[in-house]
Structure 1
Amino acid sequence: MRTLSRAPGGTFPRIARRGVVRAGILAAAVAALVCPTATAASAESPSPPPAVRADVPAGVTAGVAVFDRQTGTFTEQLNSAGQFRSASVVKLLIALDLLWNRGPDALPAADRSRIDTMLRGSDDAAASTFWANNGSGAIIDRMVARLGLTDTARPPSTHPGYWGYTALSARDTVRIYRYLLDSAPAAVRDYVLGNLRQSTRCATDGYDQHFGIAGSFNRPWAVKQGWSGFSSGGCTATTATPTAVKEPSATADPRTPTGADAVDLTRPALHTTGVVGAGDRSVVAVFTLHPTGTSYGKAYTDVGRLTRSLNVPGATRPAGAWIGTWGSGVRVRTQATTTSGAVTTLPAGVEVLVGCQKRGQQVSSPPYVNDWWAYLPQYGGYMSNIYLSVPENQVPGVPVC
């Protein structure tokens, strides 16, 4: 049995007191794994029955809406009209405004390239360019009128150039996707959704953006995520500026719609939105606020748990065991060795899906050593088991690759 070991930077992983409980959870989580090979990670399991409802982690404020396009009904609604600062989800409206009454082929090459990086990699510089060039808050006013949005408002008068402070709700986000899927010109629909289907794991600001929908469900999906108020988000060990800070536009507009000033601009925000399943059957919108000081890895994990609890018709879920991690700067590698190429860096303390495990290079975190490595199917690589929050070197119940 592996006991407490010191993490890089001098902190200790908090695993010892929950090891027995975690082991029990793992045993239940992997009971459905019937083939002890790496291919087990590609198996699919059905969505939970309709009785399942949003499981909001303690301390989290959430707004949730799930719409089944096949039946024309909502399967989940929780505070769906609640206004949240949009963070990067507003990039959907920025893109649709630019494409209004014209197809993507009519755009200058530079603008089309900016949209591609803005939707796939959530590029902030591209969004700021469009925001400044196309009227700033007027973009939001136009899209509210065009799409009949009821909870959406331009940023407050105190922050007119901060496009990420646009007020947005889960139900309005569903309306945006329904317009895109059912009413937008085919060229616009295919272009925007095509970019969202190519969402990159690492955003251009160094944040791992494959949380929530992208981590909870197998493809096909298309996602636009949002984050604000965090200092580090995986992919790189540190990032530059927290994404709550956006460059203001050159021209300030003093008008403020009703309710915009009431939106919480302080607590860390993490949102996952998109479409899921064959034929884009379900539209999912999950907006969350977290206690001040919450790490990105903790928020990432909480949003994942909340999203996995939802009744999402048409969705299938990846097989494997969800296991917590400890340490910062933990790398996922192409092989079970520290000398193989790094796929990415995990957000500190994030929960990961483990498909199987195998022996590889021995890793040391004095006075402890471990030669078992976990295969993470969603990353397509391996991490040392020494950084999994379980007491054993070989995780009980997880199949051997």
Structure 2
Amino acid sequence: MRRRLLSSTLLVAVIAVLLLGIPLGVAVNRLIHEEATQELSGEAKSLVGDVEYARGQEQPIDPEQLAKKYPERYIQIYARGTPPQVITVGTEPPMDRRLDASAQSESGVYVVVVRDKTQVEQQVHAWLLLILALAAVALAVAVGLAVVQSRRLTLPLRDLAMIAERLGSGEARPSKHRYGIQELDRVAEVLDRSATRIADLLAREREFATDASHQLRTPLTGLTMRLEEIVAAADDPKVVKEEGEAAIVQAERLTAVIDELLAAARRQRHAQTSVVELDALLDQQFIEWGPAFSRSGRKLMLSGTRGLKALGTSGGISQVISTLLENSLKHGGGPVTVTTSSTNKSIVIEVADQGNGIPEDIAPRVFERNMSGAGGTGLGLTLARALAAADGGRLELVRPRPAVFAVFLRPVGDSGRYRVVSGPA
């Protein structure tokens, strides 16, 4: 491409120089010859006047004075009279080198002024050389501009090709390069947007893998506890049946968690929210987490208003409560109390323990991704808050020390009951 630009620009410049230079050379040649001829004609007329004046004053014509006044000229003067007067001044040039002009008066004076064409041709050659030099300069400038322009075009194209190759290899990083050329800048903007989208997709894939490993751990832990209870109570058929049913519930919950994660990965919840009975949901959570708290020597208590109903998804709310209970078990202390209440605007579920709580420097950022002050992954509360928001509610830290978290859910009859909302971010 670079060679093509150089050759095409040089060809255009040569054509332009020829179209302008040749007519200009012809015009300069003609103009210089016309000026020389007019100059000789003026000298001849002036000389006729001088001769007429000298004859009127009856003064002789001095050839030496004429030679001084008209140097490098060959002059012939014919004056009518008795006898006729003929005066010759200077050296006559060869016939093929003559350039002459003549003038005649009414009294019979005839003057011919001749000069050598060599000086005129030298002047023409000088002007033609100047034109050729200007043409060469114009061609050099054209080549220089072509080199600059080809670099300006080819280097950005190479850069864009490298950027596209990096995108193809998975290195999705916007270059933010701009080149001052509208078309190339447009291509660069498109590539930057593509890089941003690819980087976002890759980040979502990594987040999905991380979120899946974290979110699946909780139901798998519950399922493991149920199986341990079954093994421990192998001699009691009733207990085995109860624990087996609880294990089945845990497996179903694990399936629901996988569905939630897939919905989050697609950035959309396809199911509409429905009425969720909180009593059944919390009772199931107590059945799942009760043995774990008992083995830790801690109490898990439920208080507040019973019979409450909220709008949301059972899997999402269960996952939020399970995350809060798991955090209280791992990082909290003392008894854990789950309190339900209602207001005109929200159904509230509070989870509180009597541990050391959350440090003041971490409390404002406790819901940020990868933020943890106790050696955790820093993902649980982030995902729990996203799940609550997906159901149209919110998760807040009410008190850092001792820690109290509150889930605010939409009451039944909320105008947004049948809307489709975005999934976790």
Normalising by structure 1, what TM-score? 0.22
More strand by share: 1
Between 1 and 2, higher relative CO (CA 8 Å, sep ≥ 6) is seen in 1
More helix by share: 2
Q: Specify the structure having the higher radius of gyration (Cα).
A: 2
Normalising by structure 2, what TM-score? 0.21
